[in-house]
């Protein structure tokens, strides 16, 4: 087998983080170098997502490409991991017999063993169990590429929203020990990371055990991380409105390193639908939380996730979602049509609303969201933003690209030496998905 690995990732940032860690691990155990093109790889891996049907469908179209490469070169090995693997297990081998290994989100640390088994015994290998979390203990230090990094602080989800597969694919909530998280953060900071995003499907439910046996929450973790030299900007995602404690709200007042941007999914503006989704909160609870957050950090930029066409959603329920969007004025939002996921309670609910009507609702919602997002970007024109320079601009490698506090990409001219630094950039133009700006001389004021 060639000593190279190609990993294609679908899904959330946690999957992205997992893929990086698999690459780190395979480099340590098998000396595999990660490559960007599948044609160059000895090992082909797919890290899959099953959150909506569309995401799941991508698996088999992508596997078709793997098959061609495996037929052309018999030494090429392929594997499927992630949330679809967790749900489908052996069924993946049945549908795609050329796949050599299957692993789940909680067994990615065992990929080297599975690979070894496949190579030596020449048979398919599978492990989609949920071992008492050991995966983080078995991974080498993460490789750092660039000044912004992710760090998974907890795994799984125990909320069981009625439409969602995550608790079944990733298992119950488990928080990584507090000291392990700090050690990984220190490692990242030492290697040039300046902005850290803490990850978890319910990251605000974090409760990590410390070396003294006490339990530390996310607010405590943020305070400790903020004290690490080099870490100058912190984010966390994704939060659930229910466990957003007053201590965590207060962190927006007391931890200046905490970016003034928060992704806080609400899913629907109708209490009836929120109840059917088993979200555990009302619209009023959500609005109260938003008010408290905005009091703690007046310039806080808020984004959200919304589901349109949940079974039984009436025009009135949908109007309530639109009204909520108007009221909160989200700076950005991701909206999806409900997708019935096998094995979830909502998949069995009667759903009389025709798909065409759902699509219309989605379009109406997305139009409004787009207007708010554009308006927000336009209001940034003329302001000076604190920007972390992350690398070259994608379209024009002679320009720099960076990220504002509210998570907008901004491109501007400047010397390469600034990559990895925080600089002040005046926003000059708001484009559809990015901003343009120029380096500002008022560095000290803004930073
Ligand atoms: N843990 C996070 C996000 C989970 S997945 C949270 O609870 O907020 C990301 C988003 O996908 C969700 O917020 C939801 O809006 C969407 N989603 C999840 N399951 C879905 C389904 N069955 N159909 C449509 N959208 C879904
Ligand atoms: Fe899914 Fe709900 Fe858990 Fe989010 S909180 S991952 S939507 S079950
Ligand atoms: Fe998808 Fe699994 Fe993430 S279903 S969104 S990859 S947790």
| pLDDT per residue as tens digits for the range 25-79 | 999 999 999 999 999 999 999 999 999 998 888 898 899 999 999 999 999 999 9
| Among 97, 7, 17, CA closest to 60 | 97
Which residues lie closer than 8 Å to 388 by C-beta, 6 or more apart? 147, 148, 194, 195, 233, 402, 403, 421, 422
The answer on pLDDT for 320 being more than 90 is: yes
The answer on pLDDT for 138 being more than 80 is: no
Q: Rounded to the nearest whole angstrom, what is the distance from the C-alpha of residue 166 to the centroid of ligand 1?
A: 9
Q: How confident is the model over 308-327, as a mean pLDDT?
A: 97
Q: Are 24 and 61 in contact (CB under 8 A)?
A: no
Ligand 3: residue whose CA is nearest its atom 7: 166
Pairing label, strands 43-48, 4-9: parallel
Q: Are 122 and 100 in contact (CB under 8 A)?
A: no
Report whether residue 237 contacts ligand 3, using a CB cutoff of 6 Å: no
Report whether residue 201 contacts ligand 2, using a CB cutoff of 6 Å: yes
Report whether residue 51 contacts ligand 3, using a CB cutoff of 6 Å: yes
Exposed/middle/buried for residue 310 (C-beta within 10 Å: 0-12, 13-18, 19+): buried
Pairing label, strands 174-175, 435-439: unpaired
Provide the pLDDT confidence category of residue 374 given band limits of 50, 70 and 90.
Answer: very high
Tell me the best of 11, 15, 49, 159 to mutate to test the pocket of ligand 2, counting ligand atoms within 8 Å of each CB and taking the most: 159
The answer on pLDDT for 444 being more than 70 is: no
CA within 13 Å, CB half, 440: 21
Provide the pLDDT confidence category of residue 268 given band limits of 50, 70 and 90.
Answer: very high
Of the listed ranges 267-276, 277-286, 417-426, 433-442, the least confidently predicted one is 433-442
Full-model pTM: 0.94
Q: How distant, in Å, are the alpha carbons of 5, 21, 254, 378, 409 from that of 424?
A: 39, 33, 23, 18, 14
Tell me the best of 51, 154, 201 to mutate to test the pocket of ligand 2, counting ligand atoms within 8 Å of each CB and taking the most: 201
The answer on pLDDT for 357 being more than 70 is: yes
Q: How distant, in Å, are the alpha carbons of 270, 308, 337, 352, 364 from that of 356?
A: 21, 12, 11, 12, 13
Q: How confident is the model over 141-149, as a mean pLDDT?
A: 92
Provide the pLDDT confidence category of residue 16 given band limits of 50, 70 and 90.
Answer: very high
**Ligand nearest, relative to CA of residue 265:** 1
**Ligand nearest, relative to CA of residue 170:** 3
Q: What pLDDT does residue 443 have?
A: 52
Six token digits for residue 96 = 């795609």
Which residues lie closer than 8 Å to 284 by C-beta, 6 or more apart? none
Q: Rounded to the nearest whole angstrom, what is the distance from the C-alpha of residue 174 to the centroid of ligand 1?
A: 19
Report whether residue 307 contacts ligand 1, using a CB cutoff of 6 Å: yes
Q: Which atom of ligand 1 is nearest to the CA of 164?
A: 19
Q: Rounded to the nearest whole angstrom, what is the distance from the C-alpha of residue 159 to the centroid of ligand 3?
A: 15
Q: How confident is the model over 74-95, as a mean pLDDT?
A: 96
Q: What is the percent of the chain with per-residue pLDDT over 90, rounded to a whole number?
A: 91
- Compute the distance between CA of residue 227 and CA of residue 366 in angstroms, rounded to an integer: 40
Q: How confident is the model over 273-294, as a mean pLDDT?
A: 98
CA within 13 Å, CB half, 129: 10
| Among 107, 101, 41, CA closest to 76 | 41
- Compute the distance between CA of residue 141 and CA of residue 57 in angstroms, rounded to an integer: 33
Report whether residue 339 contacts ligand 1, using a CB cutoff of 6 Å: yes
Q: How confident is the model over 401-412, as a mean pLDDT?
A: 95
């Amino acid at each position: 087998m060639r000593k190279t690995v190609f990993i294609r990732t679908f899904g959330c940032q946690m999957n992205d983080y997992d893929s990086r860690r698999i690459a780190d691990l395979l480099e340590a155990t098998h000396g595999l170098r990660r490559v960007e093109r599948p044609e160059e790889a000895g090992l082909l891996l797919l890290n899959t997502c099953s959150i909506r049907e569309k995401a799941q469908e991508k698996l088999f179209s992508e596997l078709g490409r793997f098959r061609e490469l495996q037929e052309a070169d018999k030494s090429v090995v392929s594997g499927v991991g992630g949330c679809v693997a967790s749900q489908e297990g052996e069924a993946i081998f049945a549908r795609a017999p050329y796949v050599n290994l299957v692993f789940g989100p909680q067994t990615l640390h065992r990929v080297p063993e599975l690979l070894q088994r496949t190579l030596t015994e020449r048979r398919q290998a599978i492990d989609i169990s949920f071992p008492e979390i050991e995966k983080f203990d078995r991974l080498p230090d993460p490789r750092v590429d660039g000044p912004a990094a992710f760090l998974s602080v907890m795994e799984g989800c125990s909320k069981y929203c009625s439409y969602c597969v995550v608790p079944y694919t990733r298992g119950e909530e488990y928080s990584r020990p507090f000291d392990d998280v700090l050690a990984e953060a220190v490692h990242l900071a030492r290697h040039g990371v300046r902005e850290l995003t803490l990850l978890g499907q319910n990251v605000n439910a974090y409760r990590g055990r410390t070396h003294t046996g006490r339990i530390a929450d996310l607010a405590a973790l943020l305070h400790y991380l903020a004290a690490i030299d080099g870490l100058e900007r912190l984010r966390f995602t994704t939060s659930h409105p229910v466990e957003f404690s007053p201590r965590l709200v207060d962190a927006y007042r007391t931890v200046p390193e905490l970016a003034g941007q928060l992704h806080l999914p609400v899913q629907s503006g109708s209490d009836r639908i929120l109840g059917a989704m088993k979200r555990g909160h009302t619209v009023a609870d959500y609005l109260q939380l938003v008010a408290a957050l905005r009091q703690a950090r007046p310039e806080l930029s808020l984004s959200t996730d919304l589901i349109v066409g949940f079974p039984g959603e009436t025009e009135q329920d949908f109007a309530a979602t639109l009204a909520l969007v108007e009221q909160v004025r989200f700076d950005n939002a991701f909206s999806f049509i409900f997708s019935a996921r096998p094995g979830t309670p909502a998949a069995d609910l009667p759903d009389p609303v025709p798909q065409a009507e759902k699509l219309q609702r989605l379009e109406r919602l997305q139009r409004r969201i787009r207007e708010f997002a554009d308006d927000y970007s336009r209001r940034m024109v003329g302001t000076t933003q604190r920007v972390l320079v992350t690398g070259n601009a994608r379209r024009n490698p002679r320009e720099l690209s960076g990220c504002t506090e509210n998570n907008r990409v901004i491109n501007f001219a400047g010397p390469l030496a600034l990559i990895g630094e925080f600089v002040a950039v005046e926003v000059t133009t708001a484009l559809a998905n990015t901003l343009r700006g120029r380096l500002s001389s008022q560095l000290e004021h803004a930073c």
